[in-house]
């Protein structure tokens, strides 16, 4: 019996020269979440295989590659070319791997339920009795072309999966509404691996309070609303820094030209990003509060450092175990509960909030330990039979 985790990141730092040739395209938050999950699965002391569908900027062809280590077998699925050809060849590589490696009694965990894994796993489940757990992290919104494809496979996965890992209480409700007797544990987010670059930004006394947004730069992440709300108040007590990439890059660049309090940082490397987080006074999550199921897992990385985290009133956060560690603002109305009201409240209590940083980090750690124990107990009792 073994555990196979199907993801899209890179959990091996060295040993794959051709992976470097691929110039892998990775979602940082996804990779961090998968790294966290793999670290938990290693504690189960059973054979662990991590499979990645990550591709690179180069066309290939790239064969499926394997690297065996003491605690983890890493598999990078092959592909060829780009576009439709890459999709077809990636799916073929996934089919071949699953047919030849998934055995009776294995525990299979998938990060979401993308077609590249869903299709071969659902077919194999007709013939082989293995346990399937879906780690639901994201549901695409109706305006996204991927929503229809993913929702079809999600519905099939809900019927055929043995249990689920939900990123939030909202995700858990989504699952149990469709499958009332489903076995579900809530486990979302990850710890941020702190990096200490040689040169670090230091905050001078009396300097503006630094607000950091990092992530995808698009409408649904609330970027336009955040900038609009920020610009209505000319206060010099705050500086808004935005990092990441997305369709609103140019919009933010223009905003930064018009307002010296706004800084566009672009897409940051690991050390640059760690430095920005280290030196941010407030980390902000501006995602539309109307998106009620998805859970912005990056906020847990901020909480792991004890950061002051300001969020829109997303139901998955308001109902999360972390709610007492977060600060909220109303993104739909700039009223007494709006962005500036919350920012001024933080400023008025800033010194005591900074002194409380270690306590916030410890409280978050205790919550995560509880969630981890529930997840491990579920896997052990239901699947591993140990």
∠ Cα 162 168 174 (to 5°)? 60
- pLDDT tens-digit series, residues 253-311: 999 999 999 999 999 887 898 899 999 999 999 998 887 667 777 888 899 999 999 99
Measured in residues, the chain has a length of 386
| Cis status of the peptide bond prior to 215, with omega within 30 of 0 | no
For the ranges 73-87, 138-152, 180-194, the one whose mean pLDDT is highest: 73-87
- Paired tokens of 259: 């307002």
The reported pLDDT for the residue numbered 119 is 95
- pLDDT tens-digit series, residues 171-193: 888 899 989 999 999 998 887 65
Q: Which are the contacts of 80, defined by CB distance < 8 A and separation ≥ 6?
A: 59, 60, 61, 62, 86, 89
Would you tell me how many other CB atoms lie within 10 Å of the CB of residue 171? Answer: 24
User: At residue 337, does pLDDT exceed 60?
Assistant: yes
| Homologous superfamily in CATH for domain 209-355 | Glycogen Phosphorylase B; (3.40.50.2000)
The reported pLDDT for the residue numbered 69 is 82
User: At residue 386, does pLDDT exceed 50?
Assistant: no
User: At residue 200, does pLDDT exceed 60?
Assistant: no
What's the chain's average pLDDT? Answer: 87
SS3 73: strand
| Residue 137, phi then psi, degrees to nearest 5 | -115, -30
Instruction: Output the CA–CA distances (angstroms, integers) from residue 167 to 138, 175, 249, 288, in the order listed.
Output: 8, 11, 28, 17
User: At residue 206, does pLDDT exceed 80?
Assistant: no
Report d(CA 82, CA 25) in Å as an integer: 13
Proportion of the chain above pLDDT 70, given as a percent: 88
The reported pLDDT for the residue numbered 168 is 85
User: Once rounded to an integer, what is the mean pLDDT over residues 349-374?
Assistant: 93
- pLDDT tens-digit series, residues 41-63: 998 888 999 999 988 888 878 88
User: At residue 140, does pLDDT exceed 80?
Assistant: no
| Residue 9, phi then psi, degrees to nearest 5 | -110, -155
- Paired tokens of 136: 């639901």
Domain ranges of the chain: 2-190+367-384, 209-355
- Paired tokens of 38: 């793999």
Q: Are 91 and 115 in contact (CB under 8 A)?
A: yes
Per-residue confidence band for 196, with pLDDT thresholds at 50, 70 and 90? very low
The reported pLDDT for the residue numbered 55 is 87
| Homologous superfamily in CATH for domain 2-190+367-384 | Glycogen Phosphorylase B; (3.40.50.2000)
pTM, two decimal places: 0.84
């Amino acid at each position: 019996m073994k555990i196979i985790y199907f993801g899209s990141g890179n959990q091996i730092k060295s040993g794959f020269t051709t992976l470097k040739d691929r110039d892998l395209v990775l979602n940082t938050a996804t990779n961090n979440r998968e790294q966290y999950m793999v670290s938990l699965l290693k504690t189960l002391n059973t054979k662990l295989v991590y499979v990645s569908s990550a591709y690179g900027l180069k066309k290939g062809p790239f064969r499926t590659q394997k690297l065996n280590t003491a605690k983890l077998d890493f598999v990078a699925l092959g592909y060829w070319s780009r576009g439709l050809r890459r999709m077809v060849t990636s799916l073929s590589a996934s089919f071949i791997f699953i047919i030849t490696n998934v055995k009776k009694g294995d525990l299979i965990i998938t990060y979401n339920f993308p077609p590249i894994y869903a299709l071969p796993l659902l077919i194999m489940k007709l013939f082989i009795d293995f346990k399937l757990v879906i780690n639901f992290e994201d549901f695409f919104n109706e305006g996204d072309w991927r929503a229809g494809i993913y929702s079809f496979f999600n519905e099939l996965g809900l019927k055929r999966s043995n249990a689920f890992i939900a990123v939030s209480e909202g995700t858990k409700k989504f699952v149990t509404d469709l499958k009332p007797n489903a076995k579900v544990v809530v486990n979302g987010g990850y710890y941020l691996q702190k990096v200490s670059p040689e040169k670090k930004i230091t905050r001078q006394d009396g300097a503006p309070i630094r607000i950091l947004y990092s992530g995808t730069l698009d409408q649904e992440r609330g970027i336009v609303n955040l900038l609009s709300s920020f610009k209505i108040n000319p206060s010099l007590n705050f500086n808004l820094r935005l990092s990441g990439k997305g369709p609103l890059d140019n919009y933010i660049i223009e905003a930064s030209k018009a307002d010296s309090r706004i800084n566009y940082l672009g897409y940051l490397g690991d050390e640059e990003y760690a430095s920005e987080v280290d030196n941010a006074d407030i980390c902000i999550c501006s995602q539309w509060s109307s998106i009620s199921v998805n859970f912005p897992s990056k906020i847990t990385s901020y909480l792991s450092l004890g950061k002051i985290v300001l969020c829109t009133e997303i139901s998955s956060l308001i109902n999360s175990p972390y709610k007492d560690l977060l600060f909220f603002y109303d993104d739909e109305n700039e009223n007494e509960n709006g962005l500036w009201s919350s920012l001024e409240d933080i400023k008025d209590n800033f010194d005591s909030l900074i002194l409380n940083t270690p306590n916030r980090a410890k409280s978050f750690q205790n919550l995560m330990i509880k969630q981890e124990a529930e997840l491990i107990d579920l896997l052990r009792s239901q699947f591993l039979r140990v």
